Structure formats: C-alpha cells, structure tokens
Structure 1
C-alpha cells in the first residue's frame, strides 16, 4: 500500500497538474492532463472529472490508474499507481465540486469525482 509523505503531498499541491493514465478493457491506453488533483489523505488522491469522457469510460471498464505529477523545470516527480472509484454524490463529491467552482474558471460541474486508492509510489524523474 502506498503512503504519501508530507513531501509528496506538498509537491502535489505545489504542482497542481498531473497526467492520468488509464486503459480500457482491451488494454488500449489513454493519458489525460488533470488540473484538479488534490491530496485527500495519506493513501488517497482525488481529481474532478470535468472533460474526461475517455478516462471515465476506461475507469468504468478497468479501475486501474496511474497518476504522474512532475516538475519539468526541476526534472523530478512521482508516479502513483492505484485503483479508482467514481463518485457522483456525497460529501467528497460536494467538496471537490466546491473547490472547482472556487477556481473561478467558469467550468461545468464535474460529472464525477475520481478517488484514487494509492497502492504503489515511485519517484519519477521527468527525464526518464
């Protein structure tokens, strides 16, 4: 099981952008930028599904996900692998929707919130 350190949490909050990699039931990969990545706690990440039709479809077929958060200027980052859960109601959904609204970017309400149970963590030098 992956435990996020204080350093990892701070890194994610500072970078605020990640790439989410998923695959459908046939193994066809998809990678998508996510600008709403947040740390939920020591074992979970979360992002808003706003314009993520392919990511959503893949996660409905295959809940495995990999999140890469990197600082391209420093050439450092992390790779978080885990299992995703799609949420369309409840306290966490409402909290993430409020955070998205607070960005003042005139974005639509998230279709889902993707909660990721982190199972593996790897340092991810952006150059490799």
Structure 2
C-alpha cells in the first residue's frame, strides 16, 4: 500500500469536489458512480458510505478493485486501490452514519474501506497522468 499526500486526502474529503468510484465486475465491465461521502481516515485508507449502492457493491465484493477520482476546478487525483470490505457496526460505522445523517439527512447501510495502492495526478497541466505514489 502507499501513503496519500495531504493534498490528496484533502481533495478526497472535500465536499465541494466532484468524486467518483469506479469498479469492475468479474467479466471486466467497468462501472463508475458519483459518491459524495468519501473521506481519508488515515494516510492509506479511504472510507465511503453505502447509501444506494447496487452494482457497485456487487463489483467491489467480487473483484476488490476500486478507483477513486476526486477533482475540483483544474486539479485532481486518482487513487487506485483494493477494497477491504463493508462494516455495518462499530465505531467507524457510527461515525460515518452520523456524518451522513447530519449532512445529507440519509441513513446508511454500511461503510466501505479502500486501501490506496497507486496515486496519480489528474490535474490539467504538464503533470497530468503522473504517478505520484
């Protein structure tokens, strides 16, 4: 696993940033959905709430492959990672459930975790596509 720099963690957790989660099924078909609940809980781990996941959840559980992309304006990052699983109870679940309820007035089903494996700069400019970790 790799460590996410502060600017990557900040972008992933920025509610003003556009953020998506890409997955792939067992046959290699890609799926990409917007997720508004991402945050980095440490230098290696991204968490998100399962509020309306369907196909995405199936893909994560089947292949464990995930790619989180976050961008704002002309700056952004892509984190390719390994899905660790869903939690439906415990401290992390309770913390994320409260945050989502307070911010979006929605109940969550679970909290997913992803460990970062590769990080890319997707900002507009000469470093676009550059692997940074």
Structure 1, gaps ≥5 residues long: none
| Aligned residue number for residue 78 of structure 1 | 77
The alpha-carbon distance between structure 1 residues 13 and 55, as it changes in their structure 2 partners (threshold 3 A), is: same
- Secondary structure of 1:119's counterpart equals strand
The alpha-carbon distance between structure 1 residues 94 and 7, as it changes in their structure 2 partners (threshold 3 A), is: same
| Aligned residue number for residue 96 of structure 2 | 96
Number of equivalences: 124
The equivalences for 1:1-128 within 5 A come to: 1-14=1-14, 15-71=16-72, 73=73, 75-84=74-83, 85-103=85-103, 105-107=104-106, 109-125=107-123
Do the aligned residues in 2 keep the contact of 1:17 with 1:36 (CA within 8 Å)?
no
Structure 2, gaps ≥5 residues long: 129-133
TM-score (norm 1): 0.88
> How far is the alpha carbon of 1:126 from its aligned partner?
5.7
- Secondary structure of 2:118's counterpart equals strand
- RMSD of the alignment, in Å? 1.7
